[in-house]
Amino acid sequence: SLPGVNKGSAIRWLLDYLKICPQDSFAFGDSMNDLEMFQVVDTAIAMGNSRHGVEAYAQYQTTDLDHGGIYNGMSHFGLI
C-alpha cells in the first residue's frame, strides 16, 4: 500500500466521515497488520486465533472466528 495508508488510516478516515468519536469505536484483529487499527480505536479486540503477540496490543481477547469470536466479543462489551 501507499505510505501512510493502512487499516488505521482507513478507520480514522471512516470515523471522521461518519462523525464517530474514537472513544466509541471497537476493532477486531488477528495479525500484526491490525496494530495501526488498534492504535486508532478505543477498544481493540484480538481474535482467539491471533498471531502470537497481537493480544498484547488488545484490551480483550475473544474466541476464534469459528467459535463465535465476533459475536462473543461484541456480547462481552454489551454491543449486542
> Tens digits of per-residue pLDDT, 55-71?
999 999 999 999 999 99
Q: What is the mean pLDDT of residues 14-27?
A: 94
Cβ distance 41 to 27 under 8 Å?
A: yes
Q: What is the mean pLDDT of residues 35-52?
A: 93
Question: pLDDT band for position 4 (50/70/90)?
Answer: confident
Cβ distance 32 to 39 under 8 Å?
A: no
Mean pLDDT of the chain: 93
Cβ distance 62 to 80 under 8 Å?
A: no
Q: Is the pLDDT of residue 52 over 70?
A: yes
Q: Say whether pTM exceeds 0.75.
A: yes
